[in-house]
């Protein structure tokens, strides 16, 4: 959003309505200045001074008016507050007093949405909204500049938050809308003003707040009042009838010949084969998952993309990239080879029935079991309803959790637990309770049922690299606050996630960054940028070193190249012409060689650079350089020379392009030289919580943990060598643990013979003998009660990766990026 939208809203809505309004008494800000609107005062330190509007909301637990003065101190200069609140006389602030600040906020963002004039698809339904949205973005992103709601921003507050980040450059917006009470949807419809719609599902969620199912449907359909077309499953026949009565075109998918997209699917192992017909043509698709809910969401997303205009032939390869989102139906392998089906998101009777069907479809003769929590709106008699759902599905053991299931304890084969905690304790005591069984875990997010999944799957886990996304978000907040406090006003964070997020999971990291409104991420090569686009990342992506043969792909996926030679620039222009690009100037970034002598224009090429920034075919977004040794105080003189060289080039270029943005500092440079921060700071390894220099009180948290488990224990007599070469003998008997990890998994071989160590039960266990290709032996003689299956931390919370890398005489970057993909990646949190 920009300040112009605020002024349009004040002129068109606030002043005519008679709402009290205080204009600023000092020099006004230009209309095109960006304006970030938030109701969360914790977000304010991460935005630029004077470019924030704060909406004070009264909630059940907190009153935003208690934080208004804090918001002003943190840089907010625009406010929407309740009309019974008095504020200090701030001469440089604009304030609107409103009877309902949330409604006023919604009206404000509608002004912005109208100014952008971006075609908008609104998605609603009892479940599946976020999944359909994310998958639709994945389908459309390569060919369309799509903006979408972050995560599940679909409430009365979430929708205006989402729309506030819409931009003029976007060709399509996809916005979620969710309601839990009657009369909420008209407010969201007025805020979004959708041109097109998607109805995912109509279930029992929130039904207790409505008079009937018909009333719930009518409230949801209010979102589509002004839509030209709406997409939905053909099973929602009554909704289709109601919309068509109102003159709205409805497209459906289903098995009947009357469906717009006619589909038939077959479960094949862990996937599905789909035969589809669209506009009279047959297509074959493969889905990388088999569960019914995911299949339905995929078909809804596919039909919406087809109606929008996507070539049907592009759907098949895109489907192969689809991944189940957090909290949706997921499959986890247990140590006995059987599956845990986890669904802590779609919590109603319809979703429960589908999940039970998915469990029943798992082939083989293994027994089947389920753990089920409370379902909204249920009553004591609903145990019989569950009986009806599981009847004939071969489910022998059922654990119920929650007071509403108490009467179910009388059912044969059923066990009742009052809380998730008590069920966890039972799993811990009865390790074989679900041995040899496929298990469905179904319950509300509020009860943290994912802990049950972890308890069922943690024993015997393979070696894994764990990505802690909550720690990542913590580090992002800490680094942004450091930049705000120590760097010149206006500097922003540019996140570097090259090498697939330093060997972890770049799409998962990028989703967190996109949610927290990081404006720009950088990757090493075009292929890494394409990976992010295929996973639905719509934010701006800078490619640091694109090769000439990938420029056409770079353009197709709307990536922003670094230009470091004149020949490379001309190649880009030629490629743009060949691909028929005749739109806005293509965004590029110029690399300057300030002394590292790796890539970049020489300062001697200044005249050519001046000519380049004037070229109409491209728009120079930033000019940047790279420090060779920012983390080494002994090289500070050379670092200062690099900074001076770079700043002289930037100054010369700004004489011809005054608002040209720049950046030279990496994480180490930011911590040691924050006073020379440009418009951006490139933060990479710091986001991972890895400290290459003193962090000045940042208290960064480790984002990556390398874990395994003990596969065997054995006793070695005194004076016996171990492993290859019979090395590392000791004068006393020892108990050794063998770990299923070796140098083929990224555990360096030079940590052999006591140089390396791991952590077991909170204690250090040193490596014994040679590190093998697939195994490591460690001494656990002094660790009491150690047993096979115990968790082992190679690095993470106890032994930080910095110390692990130092012992291996290398750097954390190398340790992370050398862990191969045969090591399972696991993400937790966020």
State pLDDT tens for residues 58-88.
Answer: 987 789 999 999 999 888 899 999 999 999 9
* DSSP-assigned letter for residue 685: G
Phi, psi of 560 (to 5 degrees): -110, 115
Instruction: With beta carbons less than 8 A apart as the criterion, state whether 738 and 716 touch.
Output: no
Q: Token digits for 215?
A: 């009333």
Run of H or E residues at 676: none
Q: Which of 220, 334, 498, 591 is catalytic?
A: 498
Q: Token digits for 748?
A: 């360096």
Tell me how far CA of residue 300 lies from CA of 66, 134, 219, 280, in angstroms. 44, 12, 21, 18
* DSSP-assigned letter for residue 63: B
569 is catalytic: no
Spatial CB neighbours of 582, under 8 Å, sequence gap ≥ 6: none
What number of other Cβ atoms are within 10 A of residue 429's Cβ? Answer: 8
* pLDDT of res. 207: 60
| Listed residue (139, 138, 361) closest to 271, CA to CA | 361
Instruction: With beta carbons less than 8 A apart as the criterion, state whether 592 and 559 touch.
Output: no
Q: What b/e string do you get for 646-673 counting C-beta neighbours within 10 Å, with b at 16 or more? A: bbebbeebeeeeeebbbbbbbbbbbbbb
| SS3 category, 7 | helix
What burial class does residue 407 get, using C-beta atoms within 10 Å of its C-beta: 0-12 exposed, 13-18 middle, 19+ buried? middle
d(CA 685, CA 472): 11
Instruction: With beta carbons less than 8 A apart as the criterion, state whether 483 and 670 touch.
Output: yes
Instruction: With beta carbons less than 8 A apart as the criterion, state whether 426 and 357 touch.
Output: no
Phi, psi of 152 (to 5 degrees): -110, 50
Q: Note every long-range contact of 308-316, with CB atoms under 8 Å and residues 24 or more positions apart, other chains counting.
A: 308/121, 308/140, 308/172, 308/196, 310/139, 310/140, 310/143, 312/276, 312/278, 312/279, 312/281, 312/283, 313/283, 314/139, 314/142, 314/143, 315/139, 315/283, 315/285, 316/283, 316/284, 316/285, 316/286
Q: Token digits for 769?
A: 């003998």
Model confidence pLDDT, tens digit, residues 386-433: 888 888 888 888 999 888 787 665 666 788 898 888 999 898 888 788
Query: How far is the first Cα of the chain from the last one, in angstroms, to the nearest whole number?
Result: 26
d(CA 525, CA 174): 28
* pLDDT of res. 346: 58
Phi, psi of 527 (to 5 degrees): -60, -40
E strands, 617-703, are: 618-624, 661-663, 680-683
Domains of the chain and CATH, by start: 3-106 (3.40.1390.10), 117-255+291-310 (3.40.1190.10), 330-456 (3.90.190.20), 491-688 (3.20.20.10), 704-828 (2.40.37.10)
| SS3 category, 595 | coil
Q: Token digits for 163?
A: 């729309």
For the chain, 830 residues long, the average pLDDT of each consecutive 10-residue run is: 93 92 82 87 64 89 90 90 92 94 97 96 92 93 88 89 91 93 93 97 69 87 97 96 97 96 89 93 91 90 96 89 62 78 70 82 85 76 78 86 74 83 87 87 77 73 85 91 81 92 91 90 96 89 96 94 96 93 91 94 95 94 95 94 96 94 94 90 93 76 94 94 92 96 96 96 96 96 92 94 96 93 80
Query: What DSSP assignment string belongs to 397-427?
Result: EEEEESGGGGGGGGSTTEEEESSHHHHHHHH
* DSSP-assigned letter for residue 523: E
498 is catalytic: yes
């Amino acid at each position: 959003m920009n300040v112009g939208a605020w002024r349009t809203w004040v002129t068109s809505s606030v002043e005519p309505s008679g709402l009290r309004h205080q204009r600023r008494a000092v020099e006004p800000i230009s209309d095109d200045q960006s304006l970030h609107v938030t109701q969360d005062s914790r977000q304010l330190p991460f935005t630029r001074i004077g470019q924030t509007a704060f909406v004070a909301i009264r909630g059940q637990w907190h009153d935003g008016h208690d934080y208004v003065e804090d918001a002003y101190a943190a840089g907010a200069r625009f406010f929407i507050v309740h009309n019974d609140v008095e504020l200090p006389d701030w001469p440089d602030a604009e304030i609107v007093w409103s009877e309902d600040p949330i409604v006023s906020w919604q009206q404000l963002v509608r002004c912005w949405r109208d100014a952008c004039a971006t075609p908008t698809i609104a998605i609603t339904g009892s479940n599946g909204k976020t999944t359909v949205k994310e998958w639709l973005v994945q389908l459309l992103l390569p060919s369309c500049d799509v903006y979408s709601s972050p995560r599940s921003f679909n409430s009365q507050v979430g929708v205006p938050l989402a729309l506030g980040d819409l931009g003029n450059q976007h060709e399509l917006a996809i916005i979620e809308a969710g309601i839990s009470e009657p009369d909420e949807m008209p407010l969201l419809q007025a805020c979004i003003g959708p041109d097109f719609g998607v109805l995912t599902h109509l279930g029992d969620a929130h039904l207790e707040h409505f008079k009937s199912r018909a009333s719930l449907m009518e409230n949801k359909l209010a979102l589509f009042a002004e839509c030209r077309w709406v997409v939905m499953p053909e099973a929602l026949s009554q909704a289709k009838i109601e919309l068509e009565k109102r003159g709205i075109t409805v497209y459906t998918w289903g098995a009947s010949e009357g469906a717009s997209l006619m589909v038939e699917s077959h479960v094949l192992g862990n996937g599905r084969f789909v035969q589809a017909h669209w506009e009279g043509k047959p297509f074959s698709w493969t889905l990388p998952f088999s569960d019914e809910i995911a299949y339905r969401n995929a078909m809804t997303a596919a039909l919406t993309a087809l109606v929008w205009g996507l070539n049907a032939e592009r759907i098949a390869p895109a489907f192969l990239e689809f991944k189940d989102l957090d909290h949706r139906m997921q499959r986890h392998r247990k140590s006995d080879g059987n599956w845990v089906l986890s669904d802590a998101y779609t919590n109603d009777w319809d979703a429960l029935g589908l999940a039970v069907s998915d469990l029943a479809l798992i082939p083989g003769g293994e027994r089947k079991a389920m753990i089920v929590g409370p379902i909204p709106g249920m009553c004591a008699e609903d145990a019989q309803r569950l009986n009806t759902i599981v009847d004939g599905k071969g489910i022998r053991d059922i654990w119920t959790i929650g007071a509403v299931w108490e009467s179910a304890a009388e059912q044969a084969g059923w066990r009742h637990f009052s809380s998730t905690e008590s069920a966890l304790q039972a799993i811990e005591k009865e390790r074989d309770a679900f041995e040899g069984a496929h298990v469905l875990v179904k319950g509300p997010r509020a009860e943290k049922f994912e802990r049950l999944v972890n308890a069922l799957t943690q024993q015997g886990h393979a070696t894994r690299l764990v990505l802690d996304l909550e720690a990542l978000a913590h580090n992002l907040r800490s680094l942004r606050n450091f930049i705000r406090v120590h760097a010149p006003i206006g500097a922003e964070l540019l996140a570097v996630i090259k090498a697939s997020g330093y060997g972890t999971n770049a799409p998962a990291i990028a989703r967190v960054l996109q949610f927290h409104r990081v404006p720009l991420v950088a990757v090493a090569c075009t292929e890494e940028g394409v990976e992010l686009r295929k996973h639905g990342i719509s934010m701006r992506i800078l490619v640091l070193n694109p090769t000439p043969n990938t420029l056409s792909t770079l353009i197709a996926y709307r990536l922003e190249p670094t230009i470091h030679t004149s020949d490379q620039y001309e190649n880009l222009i030629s490629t743009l012409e060949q691909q028929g690009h005749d739109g806005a100037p293509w965004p590029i970034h110029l690399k300057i060689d300030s002394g590292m002598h790796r890539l970049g224009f020489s300062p001697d090429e200044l005249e050519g650079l001046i000519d380049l920034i004037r070229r109409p075919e491209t728009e120079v977004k930033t000019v940047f350089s790279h420090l060779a040794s920012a983390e080494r105080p002994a090289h500070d003189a050379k670092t200062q020379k690099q900074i001076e060289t770079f700043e002289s080039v930037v100054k010369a270029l700004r004489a011809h392009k005054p608002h040209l943005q720049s950046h030279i500092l990496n994480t180490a440079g930011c911590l040691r030289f924050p006073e020379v921060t440009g418009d951006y700071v490139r933060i990479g390894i710091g986001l991972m919580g890895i400290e290459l220099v003193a962090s000045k009180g940042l208290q960064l948290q480790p984002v990556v943990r390398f874990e395994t488990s003990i596969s065997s224990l054995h006793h070695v007599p005194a004076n016996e060598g171990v492993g290859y070469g019979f090395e590392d003998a000791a004068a006393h008997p020892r108990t050794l643990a063998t770990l299923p990890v070796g140098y083929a998994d990224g555990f360096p071989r030079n940590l052999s013979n006591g140089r390396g160590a791991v952590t077991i039960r909170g204690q250090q266990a040193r490596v014994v003998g040679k590190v093998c290709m697939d195994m490591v032996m460690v001494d656990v003689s002094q660790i009491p009660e150690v047993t096979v299956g115990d968790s082992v931390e190679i690095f993470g919370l106890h032994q930080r990766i910095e110390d692990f890398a130092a012992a291996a005489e290398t750097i954390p970057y190398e340790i992370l990026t050398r862990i191969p993909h045969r090591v399972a990646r696991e993400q937790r949190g966020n």
